[in-house]
Chain A
Amino acid sequence: MASNGPTIAEVLRQQGISRRGFLKFCATTASLMALPPSMVPAIAAALENARRPSVIWLSFQECTGCTESLTRSHSPSIEGLILDQVSLDYHHTLQAASGTAAEAAREAAMRENAGKYLLVVDGSIPLGNAGYSTIAGISNLDMLKETAAGAAAVIAVGTCAAYGGIPAALPNPTGAVPVSAIIKDKPVLNVPGCPPIPVVITGVLAHFLTFGGLPELDALGRPKAFYGESIHDRCYRRPFYDQGKFAETFDDEGARKGWCLFKLGCKGPVTYNACATTKWNQGVSFPIQSGHGCLGCSEPGFWDAGPFYKALSMPIGPVKAAVGAAAAAGVAAGVAVALRNRSAKKGAQAAHQKVTVDDLEQKK
């Protein structure tokens, strides 16, 4: 942390924010960090003295989905988070500088805040051919080691950085590994999800900002405040599971009545994340509320953990070369259903013709 800069309370005061506004900020921060409202006075006291931490963000083998998620965080707003409460000194997607100037910014931040800055990583690191992923000619492995050396802590954002994610899915062509497989001498905090919930990313940053340390972690290195309970335990559809009321298909009566999606492959019972309470898109909904089971994206190896649409209680069966054939059969079945639907709806469509993806593909 930049020890000579103004404290966060001072920054807010300089912006003309009243004590009342500060207390509101503390209340929303408590909610953001999944702390009980009774913690607000403690947060206020901590923020009186907290200073803006320097943050270096490295992106390795990733899809930028995690950064997309963060930039849709609304609490606090991204502008507020980046410009006011943390000093984001390097993020090659978001920063204006490029090339030598960008790398110089990273090196300067590392030098000036040695031992105090926070390193955020998204994406996995290839241990196979280093050429799979380089930045400014530096291999991901070298850049991670070099940058982590002076960091106070490392936050692995997203399932790729936390557990290897999709790049590490079988057959793992790049030899992708998570941050924790490389960095052994620093606290590594995992914020998994594909992507993680925006406010979970900012909530973890806010915790570091407020208390100057990392929150309590579970056995998989995840903050317990957000990953302490399963989706299933916090799901509003849980009473239906307990009553034995299940949707059997995506368009049956049970699905329409909002019954439990367990039989349709929901991974909620084995997935630990905050989706059921924090939700997505500014609290609008989450997959289960929208009628689709949880994929379990915040768990290690979720991509290879069996079919998404098979109930957890069913045997997964060997994952072999047969997968390709099964996937092809699935596509064929889907096409058949689409054709059947189309013929059934032909009369209705005559009056109101729409172009579907299937129509477009047939013209090829």
Chain B
Amino acid sequence: MPSINSDDEPWRGNALPLLNEIRHALEQLLSSGETTVIDLGALPMGPQDEAELLAALGTGEVDATINAGGPSSVRETAFHGVWLVTHRNELDEIVARFVEVAFVPELLMSQPEDVADSIAALAKNLGVEQNIRK
């Protein structure tokens, strides 16, 4: 992991507290299973802060794309359980960015409503009676 305390440039210090918040959130995830979502759009980030935060978090093992109302990327960082979720709209513009501290980010999971629709669709395709109620 690259050092975030380089002496070359004055450290603006706005990513450091965020990294500590993530550390606390990870401890909470392991002890109680409680997930944390941090909205990066709600924080003051200088031009360097964001780059340094992303560099400090690194790249992990999972890289997924969700295609729903525009592409969303869901990437696990070098720290297991720390995910970077970037939502884009149909025009491919970033509309929101979150750090999600969870075993699996919520949006990666199939949603019960969609599963119910899929049962109906599959039953229709197979020409069979649907025997599970929504």
Contacts and interface: CB of A to CB of B under 8 A. Distances in A.
Interface string B50-93: 00000000000000001011001000000000000001011101
A341 B13 CA distance: 37
A286 to B, nearest CB: 10
A83 B23 CA distance: 43
B41 interface: yes
A283 B98 contact: no
A21 B68 contact: yes
A276 B68 CA distance: 29
A208 interface: no
Interface string A25-38: 10110111010111
A75 interface: yes
Contacts of A278: 41
Contacts of B98: 27, 31, 37
Interface in B98-123: 98, 106-107, 110-114, 117
Contacts, number: 98
A27 B96 contact: yes
Given A19-B113, A23-B107, A37 B46 contact: no
A43 B96 CA distance: 16
Interface stretch (A99-107, A177-185, A188-196, A233-241): A233-241
Contacts of A75: 89, 93, 95-96
Interface residues of A, number: 38
Interface of A: 17-21, 23-25, 27-28, 30-32, 34, 36-38, 40, 74-77, 234-240, 257-258, 276-278, 282-283, 285, 289
Given A18-B111, A74-B93, A75-B96, A235 B72 contact: no
Given A23-B107, A278-B41, A239 B87 contact: no
B95 A74 contact: yes
16 contacts: A17-B69, A20-B114, A23-B106, A24-B72, A31-B39, A34-B42, A75-B89, A75-B93, A75-B95, A236-B14, A237-B46, A257-B10, A277-B44, A282-B94, A283-B94, A289-B47
A276 B44 contact: yes
A38 B98 CA distance: 12
A74 B91 contact: yes
Interface in B1-15: 10, 12-14
Contacts of B94: 282-283
Contacts of B110: 20
